[in-house]
Structure 1
Amino acid sequence: MLEINDLLFRYPAQAAGSKGWRFNLNVQEGECVALSGPSGCGKSTLLNLIAGFLTPSGGAIRWQGQSLSALPPWRRPVTTVFQEQNLFDHLTVAENMGLGLHPGLRLSQQQWSRIDTMLDAVSLGDFGKRRADNLSGGQRQRVAVARALLRPQPILLLDEPMTGLDDDNRHTLQALLLRARDQGKTLVLVSHDVRDREVLANREVTDFYHPW
């Protein structure tokens, strides 16, 4: 289980005395929970706290009973799909995918084959040798989601994962994410599109945040 207990956060740039957030959330292993609420309620902030890119001022983050709070991002059992995709434009699509498996791209032939298979699954089978700066926004998004699905980490954080996709590619990624969930991956989803929440989420949560 992923447990978020009384997690406190306020951005340093906020004026003195302004409110921050207190987060509480439990997600079962193999469950997808969609975070719902108005803009500015802290949905993306909570994902960044779980991933370790932001540091809370109090509270706890636990996975399977073990605290994650002291772990740097690269040691957490977490993969994040960002709205900005975070691709390296000077690398090929396959190399960007490979970075999710090894930061030095020291991959086995089997791992390169897995990358090819995943690219086929997102209808980008001929794009492996293409530089990332030659991709459209929707293609970049598919690469980002495909890279995340290749990683073995049990928690997958999804921040607007279907941005820029047409219906066919949206359905393709939804099917891949559902399969990952059914195979035991734990998903936390932020999406303004009700279609993604209805298809992917076991439940929607609106009371995960409180003013602080």
Structure 2
Amino acid sequence: MSLEIDLAVALRGRTMATLKATVEPGAVLSVIGPSGGGKTSLLLAVAGLLDAPFTVTGTVTRDGTDLTPLPPERRRMGLMFQDALLYPHMSVVQNVLFAVPRREAGRRLTRAERRARAEANLARVEMGHAAARDPDTLSGGQTSRVALARTLASAPRTLLLDEPFSALDPALRAQVRAFVFDLARQDGLPVVMVSHDPADAEAAGGQIIEIRSCQAG
């Protein structure tokens, strides 16, 4: 399930960032650089979420299949952002359940099957005990783990991380990073992470690409 990226992102006709790399299953590609360097734009381009005035050229290929023509929902990309973006009107388990696909392998999943998958993913991040809680009652580290459970519950084939640890204090940052990288390895997911912090890239232990352009973010 290797991911091959060969992309260029331009803003109003001017190339602002390029990325060419291969990410193996369970490995992490770290794209680092200052704010405004185009890191997030590259990540959104991989996901198929970058709109005008940006233009994207090149390809994103997984297991020999060109994903570039596909809409975002068919690319099977799981995204985690700096903000967990949990729904405040839903419980923790409802937030995770929201991401569970309704159909799989050509059949519709029952409500019980989807609920079981949501609970299983909460258990994987050691948050099963908090299933009924309100997201507003969680700590920063707990919120990040629920966001990870929700992302994994969507059954992604690639994991995209946009500064997901930057709002955490150093101790929690290391803990949540370990959860994310360990579970990605267990699931054999290629990971692309963008960060301004070299410590995140060092902890990932994979290939590091530095983006130097500063045309846009």
Q: TM-score, normalised by structure 2?
A: 0.78
Which of 28, 42, 45 does residue 46 from structure 1 map onto? 42
Give the Cα separation in 2 of the matches to 1:123 and 1:169. Answer: 14
Does the Cα contact within 8 Å between 2:35 and 2:196 map onto a contact in 1? Answer: no
Query: What SS does the aligned partner of 1:162 have?
Result: coil
Give the Cα separation in 1 of the matches to 2:125 and 2:168. Answer: 11
Does the Cα contact within 8 Å between 2:88 and 2:136 map onto a contact in 1? Answer: yes
Give the Cα separation in 2 of the matches to 1:149 and 1:172. Answer: 17
User: Relative to total residues, which structure has the larger strand share, 1 or 2?
Assistant: 2
- Listed as ranges, the gaps of 5+ residues in structure 1 are none
Q: Structure 1 stretch 40-49 or stretch 167-176: which is displaced more?
A: 167-176
Matched residue, 2:106? none
Instruction: Classify 1:190/1:8 alpha carbon distance in 2 versus 1 (closer, same or farther; 3 Å).
Output: closer
Letter in 2 for 1:27: T
- Deviation at 1:187? 0.4
Letter in 2 for 1:36: I
Q: Structure 1 stretch 80-89 or stretch 131-140: which is displaced more?
A: 131-140
- Listed as ranges, the gaps of 5+ residues in structure 2 are 104-108
Identical aligned residues as a percent: 32
- Deviation at 1:118? 3.4
Give the Cα separation in 1 of the matches to 2:73 and 2:165. Answer: 24
Q: Structure 1 stretch 90-99 or stretch 60-69: which is displaced more?
A: 60-69
Does the Cα contact within 8 Å between 2:38 and 2:215 map onto a contact in 1? Answer: no
User: Could you give the per-residue CA deviations for residues 41-79 of structure 1, whole angstroms, max 9, x where no partner exists?
Assistant: 111111111111114343222222322222111111211
Matched residue, 1:85? 84
Instruction: Classify 1:128/1:20 alpha carbon distance in 2 versus 1 (closer, same or farther; 3 Å).
Output: same
Give the Cα separation in 1 of the matches to 2:71 and 2:202. Answer: 33
Higher relative contact order at CA 8 Å, sep ≥6: structure 1 or structure 2? Answer: 2
Does 2:158 align with 1:155?
yes
CA RMSD of aligned residues (A): 3.1
Q: Structure 1 stretch 122-131 or stretch 25-34: which is displaced more?
A: 122-131
Q: Structure 1 stretch 123-132 or stretch 81-90: which is displaced more?
A: 123-132
Does the Cα contact within 8 Å between 1:97 and 1:147 map onto a contact in 2? Answer: yes
Q: TM-score, normalised by structure 1?
A: 0.79
Matched residue, 1:198? 202
How many residue pairs match? The answer is 206
Does 2:21 align with 1:26?
yes
Instruction: Classify 1:54/1:143 alpha carbon distance in 2 versus 1 (closer, same or farther; 3 Å).
Output: same
Does the Cα contact within 8 Å between 1:25 and 1:208 map onto a contact in 2? Answer: no
- Deviation at 1:185? 0.8
Does the Cα contact within 8 Å between 2:5 and 2:19 map onto a contact in 1? Answer: yes
